[in-house]
């Protein structure tokens, strides 16, 4: 079968993703995550057709491709390489996203969230990674709202529900917080700040 000519910017999948992930050293103690299977071709604005391999994927989808090995008590990528818990969080340099009318920044909140009072353009985000009985990781994010203080009583039940689900508990079974924490791999607080552009 003869394919039609490429359109500028068009992407053609050569080899689809198999849902695997590989961790790679980026230097300075940082790691990134790649899809080791996905291969695609793309036409560049100058008309060149390039083949892209080892595509970098963002952190949260990558985390959900990692597995927890209960035998070694370690997190591994799809190739069996160890990934430290410290590499699952938001980088200390944060993240910036620019949109048409605003810019958003995400930075680790370096203080106790109970003591921080967000400005009207800021929100505290609690980001928890849970592991289930099969060793699969799940990222759960909770925003406390623009200008709203951190209040565990608002969403504490949600954390308990996710932890119970990860441990495979029946709906009516209740465990202490300490026992539920066995399902929690990591927890961090992020400050998201949004400002108008221009």
- Cα separation, 22 vs 66, in Å, equals 9
Query: Which pLDDT score is estimated for 134?
Result: 92
Q: What's the alpha-carbon Rg for the chain, to the nearest Å?
A: 20
Quick one: average pLDDT of 25-30? 82
Q: What is the pLDDT of residues 64-117, one digit of tens each?
A: 999 999 999 999 999 999 999 989 988 777 788 888 788 899 999 989 999 999
Q: Would you give the DSSP letter of residue 18?
A: -
- Cα separation, 106 vs 147, in Å, equals 15
Query: Which pLDDT score is estimated for 1?
Result: 46
- Which of 4-13, 96-105, 131-140, 165-174 holds the top average pLDDT? 131-140
Contact (Cβ atoms closer than 8 angstroms) between residue 54 and residue 36: yes
pTM over 0.85: no
């Amino acid at each position: 079968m003869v394919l039609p000519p490429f359109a500028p910017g068009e992407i053609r999948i050569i080899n689809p993703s198999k849902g695997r992930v590989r961790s790679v050293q980026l230097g300075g103690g940082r790691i990134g995550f790649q899809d080791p299977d996905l291969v695609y071709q793309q036409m560049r604005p100058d008309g060149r057709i390039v083949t892209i391999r080892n595509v970098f994927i963002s952190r949260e989808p990558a985390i959900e491709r990692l597995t927890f090995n209960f035998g070694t008590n370690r997190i591994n990528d799809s190739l069996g390489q160890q990934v430290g818990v410290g590499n699952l969080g938001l980088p200390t340099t944060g993240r910036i996203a620019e949109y048409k009318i605003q810019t958003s920044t995400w930075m680790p909140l370096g203080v106790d969230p109970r003591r921080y009072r967000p400005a009207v353009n800021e929100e505290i985000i609690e980001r928890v990674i849970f592991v289930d009985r099969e060793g699969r990781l799940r990222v759960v994010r909770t925003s406390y709202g623009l200008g709203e203080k951190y209040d565990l009583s608002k969403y504490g039940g949600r954390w308990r529900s996710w932890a119970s689900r990860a441990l495979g508990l029946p709906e009516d079974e209740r465990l202490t917080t300490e026992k539920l924490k066995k399902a929690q791999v990591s927890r961090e607080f992020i400050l998201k700040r949004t400002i108008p552009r221009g």
